[in-house]
Every structure is written in structure tokens, then in C-alpha cells.
Chain A
Amino acid sequence: MSQTRKDAQAEAAVRSAVLTTFGSGAVAESVIERIDIWPGENHAGDPALFVAIFLKPEQPRMSGARLLDVTVAASKALREIDDDRFPYVSVQAPEDDSERAEDTRPAA
């Protein structure tokens, strides 16, 4: 299987697992603005998947336990298709913008 096809299969599996943890289709759609998934390498240089969940405005705050539920579900979904990449999930909401840290680029 080509890497492009493997990535597409992994993305579909992770997307489905994430949506399932948020509830039925309509419930998930009411909470999630979009999900971005892309392949890359983790800190150890191992192949990984990065999953960014962008919530719609004014959603109740997600808990760490829920973040872990989503990660476990995505991780299981990948193992089920024999993909041993780990899914690094982050969750962001528009409200977070007011409490984002400064950028880290050193001044020119």
C-alpha cells in the first residue's frame, strides 16, 4: 500500500474514532468546527499522526480525561488497521485565543 493511501486510511479511521467519542453525528457536528489530521514525526523521530480538534465557540471546556478518551480511541482505531503510529491529539477553542502564550520566535 502506498504511503498516501495508508495516510488516507489512517486519517479516516482516526476521524471516525474521534467523532464517535463525541457522540452521534449530529452531536459531534454541533461541537466540532473541524478536525485536521496530518502525518509527521514525533519528538523521537518516529512516524506519528497529529490530530487537531477545533471546537465551535462557547462549547463547555473539555477535560483531560476526555482528551485521553479521544487519544485512546484514536490509538485503538490505528492499531485495528495495523498502523502503529501514535495520534497526538490537541483540542482548541476560539476562546483560547485570549489566553495564548506569546510567540517564541527570537526578535530579529
Chain B
Amino acid sequence: MWHLVVHQLENARKMAELDRGRPRQASLRRAVSTAYYAVFQALCETCASELVGRRKSWQTFTPIFRALDHNRLAQGLKHRSLVAIPALERLADAFDRLQAAREWADYNPEPRPDFDEIRNPKPFARHEARLLIELAEDAVKTIDLLDGETRLNLAARLLAKTRK
């Protein structure tokens, strides 16, 4: 596993445990967002490593690493050829779940991601942040355990643009 991804997950955990007793929204939001970025960067690294190679210069590696954006990743992961593989179906669902949480964490003022005045009005809890971090860890492990051919297929599918 890429050390940048490992450290993002470690930082997410640390932020989720800040503020004894009642946590600050800001701490939990940074924890959730950081956990999402660990998965996002793990996928970017997979694409660049598979399609360019880890030993190539940054000049070659970085453009492919940066070719993915958040929406494209979410859509690409749902491609039927990928979700037919159980591990990738799990990864796609984890990514979708985390992306929604990250959008809330970074942009939404409401007290929780799935806020509903009647059904779900209570603010986000530390345990919920921990759950999402574990979910991110699960997703990163899933990426790490993919066999070579599946990784290459995933990278190609995520970066390819289908002609309409």
C-alpha cells in the first residue's frame, strides 16, 4: 500500500479521536474527508502505476495520476464490466458512500450527511466517522488485493473515455 494512502488513513483516525467527550464538527468532517481522499488517491495511484509504471518519471506519472476526477471515478466504478466482479462492486459502493460523506464534510452546513428534520435530525457522531474510516480502509485493502489483470482492467476502464 502506498505510504501516502496509509498516512491519510492514520491521520483520519487521529482526527476522529480528537476532542474528548463531545467532538467538534470540524474534526469529524476533516476525518471523513481525509478517509475519502485516501481511497481517491489509492485509485489514482493504481491507474498511474498500472498504465505508466511506478518507476517512470513524475513527468509521465503525474498526468495520468491527475487525469481522474471525482465524478469520473464514481461513474467509472459503476461500469457493468467492473461491478460484475464482487470485489469491485464492493469498492464502487464504498466509494459512492464515502464520496457523499466527503461532499457533506467539505461543503454542506447541515449537521449530518443524511440530515432529515424528522427522520434523522441528530448531529453526526464520532462512531459514524470511525465507521466511514473503516469503510475506507476496507476499500483500500480491496484495491491492494486485486490481481494484476483486474488492476489493469480497472485502470483502463477508469481512464478510458467511451465514444458516444
Contact = CB atoms under 8 A, between A and B. Distances in A.
A104 B97 contact: no
A44 B103 CA distance: 9
B84 to A, nearest CB: 12
B105 to A, nearest CB: 10
Contacts of A81: none
Interface stretch (B45-53, B60-68, B88-96, B143-151): B88-96
Interface in B107-134: 107-114, 116, 119-120, 122-128, 130-134
A90 interface: yes
A58 interface: no
A5 interface: no
A45 to B, nearest CB: 11
Interface string A40-64: 1011100000101000000001111
B154 to A, nearest CB: 17
Interface residues of B, number: 45
A42 B101 CA distance: 10
Contacts of A36: 119-120
A70 to B, nearest CB: 10
A92 B100 contact: no
Interface of B: 21-25, 27-28, 71, 89-90, 93-94, 96-97, 99-100, 103-104, 107-114, 116, 119-120, 122-128, 130-138
16 contacts: A36-B119, A43-B100, A43-B104, A44-B103, A62-B131, A64-B133, A67-B134, A67-B135, A71-B93, A71-B97, A98-B21, A99-B126, A100-B123, A101-B22, A101-B123, A104-B110
